[in-house]
Structure 1
Amino acid sequence: MLTNVAAVGATALMMLGGSAVDGQVAHAAPLLPGPVSVSVVSTAGSGCPAAQASVTSVGQDGFTLRLPSFTARTGNSAKITERRRNCQVGVTVTGPVGWTYTLSKADYRGRAQLAKGAVGTMHAAYYFAGLSDTTRYTRTLTGPRTTAWQASDSTEIRKLGWAPCGTPRSLNINTEVRVKPGPVRNSTSLMTLGSGGNTSASYRLSWKKC
């Protein structure tokens, strides 16, 4: 179990008129009567070794996860298992008593180098531990292209629903990248989540009374 925790007090948020996410002031609605904290409690997957995910900023209206960047690849000496890389992070989000939350937006970025006919896919899934409902989002790129990419999910993510009131549950966020090779044998293609060794994924929160 990991112990990285980020928290912010309601007093500071009221002074700012919102909360700081990725270094910018954003306005929270409604303003909660107490602090919000977000903790990373687990990591798993071929793209993120244990203990290498952390919360870097948190406010009433959202939080940012820092993950090691990871790459799916195909071609040349790449193994079939390298065509997919993923990272599942479990977080606990705690707010004032009597309030519950849901995700309302997610932002990701990375790089792609895709040969002719190759397909790169970024996929995200969200669910609360112990519940069957899973929300999914997909961003697809087709080669040939070499480019930085961004993905912003504000539609599918809203189907997650609200966290159960009065019963703390881990929110699981599973991100992955995949590459499907093109018709040219052994042509190299890459799909990376993040760049420069790390990536930050930002998540917007919405709140309501139980």
Structure 2
Amino acid sequence: MYLNSALLVLLQSSLSAAAPRAPSTLRVRDTFTPPAVVSTSFSGSGCPQGTTDASTAGIWEHFSFDLPSFKAKTGPSSDVTERTVNCQAHLNFGGAKTGWQFALKDHWSKGHFETDGAGLTLTQYLTVYFSQDAANTATTVQSIPSTDNSNVSKDLDLHTTIPEAALIWSPCSGGGILNVNFRVAFTGATSNVTAYYGPSRNSSVNEQWEWTWRRC
């Protein structure tokens, strides 16, 4: 049964507790044929058209893509609009074998994080919904506070698991447009602290998804 209202799941994280990335696996019976991906598109300040190339080949075993334009920053010389950035993926699925539903279960993100002092918080938001039932939405939130005055420069690898009660299930046909919005934002009253989240010198911001299935 679908949930009738949006669910907000608060997940607190720290810089030292970032979860390692794990390989995706398809948790579905061998006799089940997953739905086809009809089309994929992206929108948002962190993935302007043409900057993200996500191959859907093998999407049910492993869906991972880079976001080279995904950057958020704050500090005395930056504009307030640069404190947040987002990328929303839109996946249009064709029908699958009747009697099965799928949902996004796990989300990994990786980006480079820098800050030169305390008082700021980097918050990651993940919002999931199907276009045909946009009121049925799940949002997870992870907050990473800057807790000391030392300089921090490291890759930040975060893992979000959407709880069973908050999963957003596809229609039983397996069709529909799934929207997954990934956003980060710097918050805090401190204006003299410089902070950055985005690509490093050697890699882009990256997302990875994993699915779960059930009979309906």
**Residues 190 and 157 (structure 1), Cα distance of their counterparts in 2 relative to 1, 3 Å cut:** farther
Match for residue 140 of structure 1 among 140, 143, 168? 143
Identity %: 24
1:73 aligns to 2:76 (yes or no): no
More moved, 148-157 vs 83-92:
148-157
2: CA distance between counterparts of 1:63 and 1:149? Answer: 19
1:15 aligns with none
1:186 aligns to 2:189 (yes or no): no
CA RMSD in angstroms, aligned pairs only:
2.8
2: CA distance between counterparts of 1:96 and 1:87? Answer: 27
Question: How much does 1:109 deviate?
Answer: 1.3
Task: Report if aligned partners of 1:38, 1:63 keep a CA contact under 8 Å in 2.
Answer: no
**Residues 182 and 189 (structure 1), Cα distance of their counterparts in 2 relative to 1, 3 Å cut:** farther
**Residues 155 and 186 (structure 1), Cα distance of their counterparts in 2 relative to 1, 3 Å cut:** same
Task: Report if aligned partners of 1:76, 1:188 keep a CA contact under 8 Å in 2.
Answer: yes
Q: Point out where structure 1 has 5 or more consecutive residues left out of the alignment.
A: 1-21
1:47 aligns with 46
1:119 aligns with 121
SS state of the match for residue 82, structure 1?
A: helix
Structure 1 residue identity aligned to 2:79 = K
1:108 aligns to 2:109 (yes or no): yes
Task: Report if aligned partners of 2:24, 2:62 keep a CA contact under 8 Å in 1.
Answer: no
Q: Point out where structure 2 has 5 or more consecutive residues left out of the alignment.
A: 1-20
Question: How much does 1:125 deviate?
Answer: 0.7
1:205 aligns to 2:206 (yes or no): no
Task: Report if aligned partners of 2:32, 2:97 keep a CA contact under 8 Å in 1.
Answer: no
2:88 aligns with 88
Which structure's residues are more often strand, by fraction?
A: 1
Deviations 1:6-54 (A, max 9, x none): xxxxxxxxxxxxxxxx996845432243355435533211111013333
**Residues 36 and 62 (structure 1), Cα distance of their counterparts in 2 relative to 1, 3 Å cut:** farther
TM-score if structure 2 supplies the norm length?
0.73
Deviations 1:66-104 (A, max 9, x none): 333512111132101001111111012446321321112
Between 1 and 2, higher relative CO (CA 8 Å, sep ≥ 6) is seen in 2
